[in-house]
Structure 1
Amino acid sequence: MGAAAERWLVVGLGNPGPRYARNRHNVGFMVVDLLAQRLGERWKPSRSRAELVTSRLAGTPVVLVKPRTYMNRSGAAVGPLCSYYGIPAQRVLVVHDELDLDFGVLKLKQGGGNNGHNGLRSVSEAVGGPEFLRVRFGVGRPPGRTDAATYVLQDFDRSERTDLGVHVERAADAVESVLADGLAKAQNTFH
């Protein structure tokens, strides 16, 4: 993985617009925004209903992607980009919120189910299966009887915001590690 000649698609999942910007569901956008900032690049709109940064990250050609299609239709942006750039699912890395992990915990994996995450389901359908890589960013379970859909569309709470920047930095580091060193080595570092 991460050979210099092979382009990767790194997708942050989230919802567009200021209303959603600080929601738990938008942590994927937060991570790719930081990666774009590290590269000194600005987001550019594309015909594929996404904002893009095309550059090199960790020595690897990469297209950073923020779908503008809303979470549940993320694949509508990702699928056409994979086709356009000739990128197979195995070189798509998706950064997303994960209810089954405590806040700030990261898990990296390839493939697997969608676990009720509609953004992942949409990407799976668009790229022909679940074999893409994932940086799962823990947002924790909703408290009490709070509905999961309501919870992920809420902003991180005050105590979480204290450490959010550190966790977003670490997730961005994990993306770079996957591209530079491969999934297995990155897992050893970040798990």
Structure 2
Amino acid sequence: MYIVVGLGNPGKQYDKTRHNVGFNVIDILAKEYDISVTKIKHKALIGEGRIGSEKVLLVKPQTYMNLSGETLIDIYQYYKVDLSNIIVVYDDIDLDVGKLRIRTKGSGGTHNGMRSITKCLGSTDFPRVRVGVSKPRPGQDLADFVLSKFRKEEAIDLENGLEKAYRAVDTIIRENIEISMNKYNG
């Protein structure tokens, strides 16, 4: 079984913001594989289904970004999956819009959602798919930036990046993370 967690903030005011690209990827996976992500459990919206021959749980934490770890530790303890079968999808300001960076493990860096997850899990040894959202302009507040919507001129790069991110998750599950990294990183 795989658990795919897309990070974001709940609420209409956060739809289509930079910080919610993880939710966007979960939405694409849900549509692609006809998985309804509407059940409320573990402080999250969840949906169960299949990708290829693998059972998957799609997760959109409803705790707000900074407390994402509360959802994930609850799910981890309930389902008792191996950490290598938990895939976290989230935004990265150090990558241009739509670029991906897939890793088998790593620190939470400056991302508060990832910091919460690594703290609650007590580990950094789980796969992650980072989706580029670009950097704030000089002098722009980081929180305001990640909670802002994408500019019109970023739409095509964003759409391509979200598509690649969903395919990257699919490849991790159907094949393995190394193949996904070779195909989609950069």
TM-score, L = length of structure 2: 0.95
Q: Tell me by how many angstroms 1:91 deviates.
A: 1.3
The 8 Å contact of residues 39 and 47 in structure 2, kept in 1 or not, is answered as: no
Count of aligned pairs between the two proteins: 185
- In the alignment, which of 144, 153, 156 is matched to residue 147 of structure 2? 153
1:65 aligns with 2:59: yes
Ranges of 4+ aligned residues in structure 1 off by more than 6 Å: none
Deviation at 1:63, TM superposition (A): 0.4
Q: Which moved more, 1:160-169 or 1:61-70?
A: 160-169
- 1:42 matched residue in structure 2: 36
2:4 is the counterpart of 1:20: no
Percent identity (aligned)? 37
CA root-mean-square deviation: 1.1
1:80 Cα deviation from its structure 2 partner: 0.7
Q: Deviations over 1:92-115 (max 9, x none)?
A: 100000011111110100211112
Does the alignment pair 1:10 with 2:4?
Answer: yes
Change (3 A) 1:31 1:146: same
Task: Measure, in 1, the Cα distance between the counterparts of 2:82 and 2:115.
Answer: 17
Match of 1:186 among 163, 180, 184: 180
1:111 aligns with 2:105: yes
The unaligned stretches of length 5 or more in structure 1 are 1-6
| Of 172, 176, 185, the match for 2:166 | 172
Partner of 1:135: 129
What is the CA-CA distance between 1:46 and the residue it aligns to?
A: 2.6
Secondary structure at the counterpart of residue 63 of structure 1? strand
List runs of 5+ in structure 2 lacking aligned partners: none
Structure 2 CA distance, aligned partners of 1:101 and 1:58?
30
